[in-house]
Amino acid sequence: MFRNDLNWSDVTPKAKWLNRRQIMAAGAATMIAPRALAASYSTTEKPNTFEEITNYNNFYEFGLDKSDPARNAGQLTIDPWSIQIDGLVERPGNYDLADVMAMGPIEERIYRFRCVEAWSMVIPWNGFQLSHLLDRVGVQPSARYVSFETLFRPEEMPGQRQGFLDWPYREGLRLDEAMHPLTLMATGLYGEPMPKQNGAPIRLVVPWKYGFKSIKSIVKITLTADQPVNTWKRTNHREYGFYANVNPNVSHPRWSQATERRIGGGLFNSREDTVMFNGYGDQVASLYSGQDLAKDY
């Protein structure tokens, strides 16, 4: 029901399609079907402003402060860019960004975004479903997980010249999570190409999980049989797990996850109740039936 049987890139010459994609992203689209489909996944909450989304960031490759990515990410070179796709796939390779971006129709998705630090935003992403990429490269039957890696380039990423994380940043999803239609490869926001501080040129967005799962500036995707190690779990497994589903009932060891602060929300920074799976429970709860989410945090 949510799928468009015709993939745009199947029916439209690529150059024209890329052009259309830009038009789509600018919000001037006359192509009705994909927007109508996308609407069912988007929240009707008011998005944060472009200024808020691009000036309050976590991107430790560019420093620890929320303002560091906006200040330092300008030096990142994003052209050329390619993604190595390997492991348990039928068609491994080093894919140019343009080819990756042609693997699925670019949609607008307005998603709630919840950081493990108990702040949140609403972000209008542009991107395509990771499931389309996985279908294109072909997942082998023995694959059960997908792992992701960020660019390692200390010359351009000052945080990588310091050892506060084990670089490169790594994340992972179970295959069913990766195939879920909510899971996006995001290439832009507000119809603009992805700002560098938000993970240019392409990053993951998994809206029912804490923000750290949504790895930025991806250069490698590997299909694996075993659960991959993710950076934050490796750094402190008591505080950060592999699943990282937003869960108001499971506190972080150092703070409660029951409430959150919406960035830019209101004069007194009043807090809102955090919702299980960040509000996406209807779509994703079934992925975890039979799992103890206090154990699989």
- Give the interface with ligand MTE as residue ranges (CB under 6 A): 57-61, 115, 150, 169, 198-199, 211-212, 214-217
**231 binds Mo ion per the rule CB under 5 A:** no
Kindly tell me which residue out of 42, 48, 58, 278 binds Mo ion, with binding defined by CB under 5 A.
Answer: 58
3-state secondary structure at position 263: coil
Q: For residue 292, give every residue at least 6 positions away whose Cβ sits within 8 Å of its Cβ, in sequence order, or none.
A: none
Which is nearer to ligand MTE, 75 or 142 (by Cβ)?
75
**115 binds Mo ion per the rule CB under 5 A:** yes
Whether omega for the bond prior to residue 168 falls within 30 degrees of 0, making it cis, is yes
**211 binds Mo ion per the rule CB under 5 A:** yes
CA distances to 53, 58, 165, 195, 240 from 70, rounded to whole Å, are: 10, 10, 20, 9, 26
Residue 160: which of Mo ion, ligand MTE, none does it interact with, CB under 5 to 8 A by kind?
none
Residue 216: which of Mo ion, ligand MTE, none does it interact with, CB under 5 to 8 A by kind?
ligand MTE
The sheet with strand 82-87 has its strands ordered as: 93-96, 82-87, 218-224, 145-150, 170-174
Which is nearer to ligand MTE, 85 or 200 (by Cβ)?
200
Measure the CA angle with vertex 115, ends 109 and 118; round to 5°.
Answer: 130
Neighbours of 166 (CB within 10 A): 11
**184 binds Mo ion per the rule CB under 5 A:** no
| CB 114, min distance to Mo ion, A | 9
Residue 62: which of ligand MTE, Mo ion, none does it interact with, CB under 5 to 8 A by kind?
none
Which is nearer to Mo ion, 47 or 211 (by Cβ)?
211
Residues that contact Mo ion, how many (by CB under 5 A): 5
Which is nearer to ligand MTE, 60 or 243 (by Cβ)?
60
Q: How many CA atoms lie within 13 A of 145 on its CB side?
A: 14
- Between CA 193 and CA 196 the distance in angstroms is 9
φ, ψ of residue 98 in degrees (nearest 5): -60, -35
Residue 147: which of ligand MTE, Mo ion, none does it interact with, CB under 5 to 8 A by kind?
none
Contacting residues toward Mo ion, per CB under 5 A: 58, 115-116, 211-212
